[in-house]
C-alpha cells in the first residue's frame, strides 16, 4: 500500500511538472503577444505557432528567431529564448534599432508577399 501511494505521489509530481513545463512551450502559443505592447491600438494577431510553421514549411527556428553579428545573420544561432522586443526596442550594443512594429510587419508581411501566401492586409492579421 505504501509503495503504491509513493508511486502515485511520484507520478502526480511528474505529471504536474510536465504540465507546468508545457505551459511555456511554443505549441501553446495562439497569439503574438509581445509584452512590449501595453496599450494596443489594434487587436492582437492570431498565430498558432507550431501549426503556422508546419503549414508554411519553415524548418529553421532562426528564420524568425535570429541572431546577428556585424550586420550578418548567423546561420547556426537562434534566439527563441527572447521576445522580439528584447532586441528591437533597446539600444544596447549588438541590438537592432529597427522599430518594433516595423520589425514584426517586415518579417511577417514580407514573407507572405514573397511567397504569395498568408495575410497582408491589416484586418487579416489584426482580427477583431
Ligand atoms: C514564422 C516565425 C517563427 C518561426 C519560424 C519560429 N517562431 Fe517561435 N515565435 C515566433 C513569434 C512571433 C513568437 C512570439 C514572440 C514574442 O511574443 O515576442 C514566438 C515565440 C516562441 C517561444 C516563446 C518565447 C516567449 O518568450 O514566450 C518559443 C519557446 C519559440 N517561439 C520557439 C521556437 C522554436 C523552437 C522554433 C523552431 C522549431 C520557432 N520558435 C520557430 C515566431 C516564430
Ligand atoms: C538577439 C536579438 C534579436 C532578436 C531576439 C530578434 N532580432 Fe530581429 N534583428 C536583430 C538585429 C541585430 C538585426 C539586424 C540589424 C538591423 O536590421 O537593424 C535584426 C533584423 C531584423 C529584421 C530585418 C532583416 C530581416 O531579416 O528581414 C527584421 C524584419 C527583424 N529583425 C524582425 C524580428 C522579429 C519579428 C523578431 C522576433 C521573432 C526578431 N527580429 C528578433 C536582432 C534581433
Ligand atoms: C518565412 C515565411 C513566413 C514568415 C516569416 C511568416 N509567415 Fe505567416 N505564413 C507563411 C505562409 C507560406 C503561409 C501560408 C500557409 C498556407 O496556407 O499553406 C502563412 C500563413 C499565415 C497565416 C494564415 C494561416 C494561419 O495560420 O491562420 C497567418 C495568420 C500568418 N501566416 C501569420 C504570420 C505572422 C503573425 C507572422 C510573423 C510573426 C508570420 N506569419 C510570419 C509564411 C510565413
Ligand atoms: C502579417 C500580419 C500583419 C499585418 C498584415 C499587419 N500587422 Fe500590425 N502587427 C502584426 C504583429 C505580429 C504585430 C506584433 C505584435 C503583437 O500583437 O504583439 C503587430 C503590431 C502592430 C501594432 C502595434 C501594437 C498595437 O496594437 O498597438 C500596430 C499599431 C499595428 N500592428 C498596426 C497595423 C496596421 C495599421 C496594419 C496595416 C497597414 C497592420 N498592422 C498590418 C502583424 C500584422
> pLDDT tens for residues 53-112?
999 999 999 999 999 999 999 999 999 999 999 999 876 656 677 789 999 999 999 999
Number of separate helices (H) and strands (E) present in the chain = 5, 4
Residue with grid cell 503504491, as numbered in its chain: 4
Mean pLDDT for the chain?
84
Ligand 2 in contact with 120 (CB < 6 A)? no
Which grid coordinates belong to 43? 487587436
**Every domain of the chain and the residues it spans:** 26-125
> What is the architecture of the domain spanning 26-125?
Alpha-Beta Complex (3.90)
Confidence band of 21 (pLDDT split at 50, 70, 90): very low
Measured between alpha carbons, how far is 2 from 8 in angstroms, rounded to an integer? 10
Beta bridge partners of 31: 46
Report the nearest atom of ligand 1 relative to the CA of 35: 17
Please tell me the predicted confidence (pLDDT) of residue 46: 94
Please tell me the predicted confidence (pLDDT) of residue 126: 96
DSSP state string for 25-76 = SGGG--EE--TT--S-SSPPEE--HHHHHHHTT---GGGTS--EETTEE-TT
Pocket residue to mutate for ligand 1, from 34, 51, 65, most atoms within 8 A of Cβ: 65
Report pTM: 0.89
Amino acid at each position: 500500500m505504501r509503495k503504491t501511494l509513493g508511486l502515485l505521489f511520484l507520478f502526480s509530481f511528474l505529471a504536474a511538472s510536465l504540465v507546468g513545463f508545457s505551459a511555456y512551450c511554443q505549441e501553446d502559443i495562439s497569439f503574438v503577444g509581445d509584452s512590449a505592447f501595453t496599450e494596443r491600438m489594434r487587436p492582437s494577431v492570431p498565430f498558432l505557432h507550431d501549426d503556422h510553421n508546419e503549414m508554411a514549411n519553415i524548418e529553421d527556428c532562426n528564420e524568425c528567431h535570429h541572431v546577428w553579428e556585424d550586420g550578418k545573420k548567423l546561420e547556426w544561432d537562434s534566439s527563441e529564448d527572447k521576445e522580439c522586443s528584447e532586441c528591437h526596442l533597446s539600444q544596447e550594443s549588438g541590438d537592432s534599432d529597427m522599430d518594433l512594429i516595423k520589425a514584426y510587419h517586415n518579417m511577417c508581411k514580407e514573407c507572405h508577399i514573397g511567397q504569395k501566401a498568408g495575410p497582408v492586409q491589416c484586418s487579416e492579421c489584426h482580427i477583431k
